Structure 1
């Protein structure tokens, strides 16, 4: 009986067991924080690409090419532009990078952003020969 009592009071290895219990939670928390950072990155870059595309389209440039260059390494799904009166609106749809979760697979999330700019008019009056 004494041997059993001393065995139950022995705390050798308890830190290892506690570490093994908490470590997966730390990894999951890190993955969630990393995913939030990826979403924030995708939102900022997509909005910037839409704004740059609208700026280029307002002066007669190629909105799709400028938006794709502005997006850097982000995967652009589509770029569309709609001209309405004196304004042009460019919409950029991008794929949000996701953390691959074991046993769940890859999750595909898209984010779209649009920007509107006034169309620039050609002004030949200020040009000097």
Structure 2
């Protein structure tokens, strides 16, 4: 119902930010996200928390390891996974300016700050933390 409500709000020109556990936003609400938000390319921002296995004590029913795959499979859906609090803040402002559906995957755990306030976030562009020549390590979140 939350995703359907967000879709309805988006049709009025407002920018809804919907948030729940990642497993519920991507798994249980998948049809609503796909049919009500992504296919009509509505300006809904889905920002679930507790992504990945950071919710270990609640067991597998609340852990979401497939949410990125599900959201990436939807045409027109932008999927983002911030690395720290600085990137999260900058990402929120960027997705508010972006016209169209966005899935911002948020964790639960306290994590170290990687970026300083001068970091410039851009949708669709990866951030390089360290330069090198021998190996490339790619990560998300």
Q: Report if TM-score (shorter chain) is over 0.5.
A: no
Normalized per residue, the structure richer in strand is 1
Structure-1-length-normalised TM-score? 0.25
Normalized per residue, the structure richer in helix is 1
Larger-Rg structure: 1
